[in-house]
Amino acid sequence: MKYFFLSDGWTIGRVWELGGLWNESAWRRKPEISQINLCVWEQDEKLWLYRVEDAVLMVEVKPTDQAQVEAAPQAIGQVILKRLITADQAIERICASEISAPEPRVIS
């Protein structure tokens, strides 16, 4: 398995495998990409961890709110993730990230 982090407000677009763009007809299925219920905070940005199968080489990500992209033309419209990370690299990034925990509640 491979992993990547994706910011809140972004979604997955096209997916590439060794032969080019993922072809659902040839594979007879969609690529296995799943969001793990784990996020990290980096510079006030919430990043969700995603897992992808080994056959995936690259993933296109883009903002979910197209109106936001059109309103701010200088903003990034899409990104291609070419360097998916290993489980060890994901763990290292989680350990190095800011930790966000809820405030403890005082019960009187």
Q: What's the token pair of residue 11? A: 């979604």
Q: Which of 79, 49, 39 is nearest to 62 (CA)?
A: 79
Express each pLDDT in 7-50 by its tens digit: 988 999 999 999 999 999 999 999 999 999 999 988 888 899 99
Q: Which helix (H) or strand (E) holds 88?
A: helix 87-96
Helix (H) or strand (E) run with residue 66 in it: helix 66-71
Spatial separation of the C-alpha atoms in residues 88 and 94, rounded to whole Å: 10
CA dihedral over 7, 16, 24, 85, signed as positive or negative: negative
pLDDT (tens digit per residue) in 52-62? 999 999 999 99
Predicted model pTM = 0.78
Q: Are 93 and 50 in contact (CB under 8 A)?
A: no
